[in-house]
Structure 1
Amino acid sequence: MAQPGQQTINIGDLDIAQLGDVKKQLEEELSHLTNSFAQLKQAQNKFKQCIENVKELGQKENKDKALLVPLTNSLYLPGKLVNPEHVIVDVGTGYYVKKSQAQAVKYYSQKATYIQSNLEKLEETISRKRENVSVVVQILQQKVSSQINAGGPVPGAAGPARPGQSKVKG
């Protein structure tokens, strides 16, 4: 269904070159969506790992345990776990909040659930986009086939070689 301000075009009315452009655009969109899906899945896995880490740190036997504290992705400092009941949670854009173990687990669980709902929506969009690509490919194949059967030139395809001329350059 077209959104307001958009024009609906019957793809069967497009010529072979236009269908090729539509196919290319749909494939680029599909690639972008697939990459976004992978990135969201990776973020969800990080939140799930955070849940496991918070649960593991919260055990009583970890009190006064030596550990490495990450300052950046590649810089760690030695530290000691003084209070396993509370953790510092990165809530984004450089802000950190002290939370109890239960609050931290709840926070990360909510983040993982939110990402899961977005993953499901994105998966539906990817599925529809794949169907659209398939339809365009089918119509493109039909048009190319009918063009070949009619004996006409197919745009983008090399024509027959003339005597004394090679199709392959090299």
Structure 2
Amino acid sequence: MASTAGQPQQINVADLDISQLAEVKRQLEEELAHLTNSFGQLKQAQAKFKSCIESVQQVNAANQNKTVLVPLTSSLYVPGKLRDVENVIIDIGTGYYVQKNRAQAVKHYESKIEYIKDNLDTLQGTIQKKQDNMGYLVNVIQSKLQTQASGSGNKE
């Protein structure tokens, strides 16, 4: 006999009572909120990397020795002069920075954007499935409520 331990058991939602359906609906709403929040955060990260590409492209020979604002944090900038317009220092994560030439830096950020795009596509599919499940669940709840209402109406 095959063991099903560790495997999720499938339950037909139509077999659940209204209070159980309400709990499943609440869980689905929480999952959807979390997934939607994650989607938004990924979109923000993607926009940040696109902004980084634009910043790298601003570093060019025409701007050499010009005063620019250098970001120290996301909200603190100090004036500085561009001396080396061929190389930039990029944040590769967890507080580590490396020097790359402009083409390498753009390629790095483009790969990050593509990675996020793939994750966004996957996440969008998951969100769509959860929304479809939510729609089906709401229909089941409404059907049960109507059945309950018509059943109690016949008893009077």
- Report the AA paired with residue 66 of structure 1: T
Cα displacement (A) at 1:60: 1.0
Write out per-residue CA displacement over residues 90-111 of structure 1, whole angstroms, 9 at most, x where no aligned residue: 0011100000000000000000
Structure 1 stretches lacking a partner, 5+ long: 153-170
Cα displacement (A) at 1:75: 2.1
Cα displacement (A) at 1:120: 0.2
1:27 aligns with 2:29: yes
Q: Distance in 2 between matches of 1:136 and 1:16?
A: 11
Distance of aligned partners of 1:69 and 1:25 in 2 relative to their CA distance in 1, 3 Å threshold: same
Q: Distance in 1 between matches of 2:134 and 2:6?
A: 23
Aligned to 2:132: 131
Q: Distance in 1 between matches of 2:26 and 2:138?
A: 10
Farther-moved stretch of structure 1 (67-76 vs 23-32)? 67-76
Structure 2 stretches lacking a partner, 5+ long: none
Q: Distance in 1 between matches of 2:75 and 2:65?
A: 24
1:43 aligns with 2:48: no
Q: Distance in 2 between matches of 1:46 and 1:73?
A: 11
Cα displacement (A) at 1:3: 9.9
* RMSD between superposed Cα atoms in Å: 1.5
User: Structure 2 residue aligned with 1:12, among 7, 14, 18?
Assistant: 14
Q: Distance in 1 between matches of 2:86 and 2:15?
A: 66
Aligned to 2:103: 102
More helix by share: 2
What is the DSSP-based 3-state SS (H/G/I as helix, E as strand, rest coil) of the residue aligned with 1:31?
helix
Aligned to 1:77: 78
Aligned to 1:113: 114
Q: Distance in 2 between matches of 1:42 and 1:53?
A: 16
**Greater Rg over alpha carbons, structure:** 1
Farther-moved stretch of structure 1 (139-148 vs 60-69)? 60-69
Give the TM-score of the pair, scaled to structure 2: 0.92
Aligned to 1:66: 67
Cα displacement (A) at 1:126: 0.3
Aligned to 2:55: 53
Aligned to 1:91: 92
Q: Distance in 2 between matches of 1:3 and 1:79?
A: 62
